[in-house]
Amino acid sequence: MNIILQALISYLLLYRYATIFAIAFVAAFIIPIPSGSILTAASAYARIGYFNIYWVIILSITGNILGDNLGYWIARKYGREVLSRVGFRRVLESDGYKSLENKFNKRPGLIVFISRFEVLSTLSVNLLSGISKTNYRKYFVHEFLGSITQVCFYSLIGYFFADSWQSINTTVGKISLIIGLVLVLLIISFGKKFIMRKLE
């Protein structure tokens, strides 16, 4: 276990349900902390009676959804202006980015859904969705379903494999990282295709 995860588990054991909600919210909103690992740990502790598994699930889903939506709306209102001021104006105004933005806005569902399983991809897709002013209804439906699926997935792993949750969590973490990298590569590849089309 790394130092960050150890520290978070200490807070989990000390502050219990408040920590579950706070970590889910902060990880979905702004800071890439290992919320999936904490959820798995909390579910493992629920198996031995330290937590109520239903509250673990409810608080995690609520924290995820609130964090995701706050991130989306802040990015939608201020994201483009802030990024333009810190040197990304040319990127945001480029034909390649505009084409990528249009493509993403037509079918954001699968990317939004899958991105819920890896914290960096979650934050990136929330930012992209907000800046691109993706249809909120489409974003919310897939974010909501993705959050529920992600929370249930990690909770079931922690609850039913309580004795070996750390080793299983390591494997799941690697898979989640691969999913995140694949999403990033897909976005980059789409961007390259659109840029090449514009240059032809």
Amino acid 94: pLDDT = 84
Joined tokens for residue 23: 């970590």
Please report, to the nearest 10 degrees, the dihedral formed by the alpha carbons of residues 175, 61, 156, 52 taken in order. Answer: 140
pLDDT digits (tens, 9 = 90+) for 78-126: 999 998 888 888 888 888 788 878 888 888 888 899 889 888 889 989 9
pLDDT at 192 over 70: no
pLDDT digits (tens, 9 = 90+) for 121-173: 899 899 999 999 999 999 999 999 999 999 999 999 989 887 766 666 666 66
Name residue 65's amino acid.
I
Confidence band of 2 (pLDDT split at 50, 70, 90): confident
- Rounded distance between C-alpha atoms, residue 60 and residue 72, angstroms: 18
Could you give the 3-state DSSP secondary structure of residue 197?
helix
Give the 3-state DSSP-derived string for 22-86, with helices as H, strands as E and coil as C. HHHHHHHHCCCCCHHHHHHHHHHHHHCCCCCHHHHHHHHHHHHHHHHHHHHHHHHHHHHHHHHHH
Confidence band of 191 (pLDDT split at 50, 70, 90): low
Amino acid 103: pLDDT = 83
pLDDT digits (tens, 9 = 90+) for 23-58: 999 999 989 898 988 999 999 999 999 999 999 999
Joined tokens for residue 84: 């333009």
DSSP structure class, residue 88? I
pLDDT at 198 over 50: no
The distance in angstroms from the start CA to the end CA of the chain is 50
Joined tokens for residue 105: 């806005």
Query: What is the pTM (predicted TM-score) of this model?
Result: 0.82
Amino acid 142: pLDDT = 95
- Rounded distance between C-alpha atoms, residue 168 and residue 146, angstroms: 21
Highest mean pLDDT among 7-11, 73-77, 153-157, 181-185: 73-77
